[in-house]
Amino acid sequence: MPEPIVSIVLPIYNAEKYIDKTIQAVEKQSVEGWELLIIDDGSTDSSMQLVTKYTIINSRIRIFSQPNSGPSSARNLGIKNATGKYITFIDADDRIEPFYLKSLLKDAEKDPQIQLVCAGYYEQSIYNKEGLPLHDFEKFKPRQIISQNDFIDNLLDGVTGVLWAKLFVTEIIRKNNISLPLKLKLSEDLVFVAKYVNCISKISISYDYIYFYNRLDETGLSRSYDESYFDNFILFNELICKELGNSKIFTDKLNLRTTLNLIKTLKDQNTSPKNLKHYHHMIKSRFGLKSFSDIPSLSDKVFIALQNSGLYNLAFLQQKLYQLLKILKHA
């Protein structure tokens, strides 16, 4: 079998619900020069049985297994074993268009100096199950080439820093020893992308929509957060500033991003006024919750202002009403 052009890294952990469709989407790609590296991160369901049957009939699919160590460790193992000129990443619960690889390769191979390709995606959620077309580089349209500085300026916007819907050059990753940070449990992909972009100068923007980002299973209450979760916010800020510097513009963007993520945490934990109060106090003691005059959403401003005034019952009701109206609007 000839050496593949693209290595697709797919980490899985208890993905039996999605994995068949994900692998089948890879097999339907309109270009043939690919290999699929499935990294099983200690699954305890039937994922491995489902995956193994594909390797019997398709030698381009390889499986690697490790004890449960998290998605960063799994992706690093995939990078280590990739043989393609390029690497792209997909998640087990997402899916890709049949022209996913064709679109990325088309842009990468039109100019040997292009070292990163970024495309558009569909966000699937309870508000739009078919998928809302989004592109985090829309403001650059119709430009097809952007600089390193352009990319970094955009890095904290939307999901610019995710790994999927992008094409990376394997040699650049290896030459610069770029890997996902194992100590970081959130936004680790953004740190990886920042490290990578620091090593390149020319980025291609594809305005094709090629990836389906699945948020259909998000319930609002994701989990209970402990102090280590908030420690990760601080660690992320330290790592990203180490990569990209501490200019006031970047720091302001980073602080706003942190604020919006903390607000999302409060929304996730808005199961009762008592629970909301607990997490508000926890966040306030670590980060401080003040005026937030730069928050773009009026609803979020009211949500925080009510909590800062100790009106947790009203904050609870305000957010629940806002969520209900949002669901009705998209019904």
- What torsion do the CA atoms of 146, 152, 157, 158 make, to the nearest 10 degrees? 70
Q: Give the C-alpha distances (Å, rounded to integers) separating 172 from 26, 197, 199, 202.
A: 24, 10, 7, 13
**Predicted confidence band at 291 (pLDDT cuts at 50, 70, 90)?**
low
Nearest to 103, CA basis, from 90, 93, 117: 117
Name the residue with higher pLDDT: 88 or 225: 88
Only one residue has tokens 């820093």, namely 161
Return the pLDDT at 221: 40
pLDDT, tens digit, 9 for 90 and up, residues 182-212: 999 888 999 999 999 999 999 999 999 999 9
**Predicted confidence band at 124 (pLDDT cuts at 50, 70, 90)?**
confident
**Predicted confidence band at 222 (pLDDT cuts at 50, 70, 90)?**
very low
How far is it, in rounded angstroms, from Cα 295 to Cα 311?
Answer: 20
Q: Computed from CA positions of residues 54, 59, 64, 65, in that sequence, does the dihedral angle turn out positive or negative?
A: positive
Nearest to 140, CA basis, from 85, 93, 206: 206
Which region holds residue 310: left if phi is over 0, alpha if psi is between -120 and 50, else beta?
Answer: left
pLDDT at 290 over 60: no
How far is it, in rounded angstroms, from Cα 240 to Cα 254?
Answer: 9
Domains plus CATH for the chain? 6-214 (3.90.550.10), 227-330 (no CATH)
How far is it, in rounded angstroms, from Cα 120 to Cα 321?
Answer: 32
pLDDT at 220 over 60: no
3-state secondary structure the chain: CCCCCEEEEEEECCCCCCHHHHHHHHHCCCCCCEEEEEEEECCCCCHHHHHHHHHHHCCCEEEEEECCCCHHHHHHHHHHHCCCCEEEECCCCCEECCCHHHHHHHHHCCCCCCCEEEEEEEEEECCEEEEEEECCCHHHCCCCEEEHHHHHHHCCCCCCCCCECEEEEHHHHHHCCCCCCCCCCCCHHHHHHHHHHCCCCEEEEEEEEEEEEECCCCCCCCCCCCHHHHHHHHHHHHHHHHHHCCCHHHHHHHHHHHHHHHHHHHHHCCCCHHHHHHHHHHHHHHHCCCCCCCCCCHHHHHHHHHHHCCCHHHHHHHHHHHHHHHHHHHC
Nearest to 318, CA basis, from 247, 267, 250: 267
The size of the chain, in residues, is 331
Return the pLDDT at 295: 80
Phi and psi torsions of 295, nearest 5°? -70, 125
Q: What is the mean pLDDT of residues 90-108?
A: 95
Q: Give the C-alpha distances (Å, rounded to integers) separating 151 from 2, 77, 105, 217, 226.
A: 34, 27, 20, 30, 33
pLDDT, tens digit, 9 for 90 and up, residues 37-89: 999 999 999 999 999 999 999 999 999 999 999 999 999 999 999 999 999 99
Neighbour tally for 65: CB within 10 Å = 13
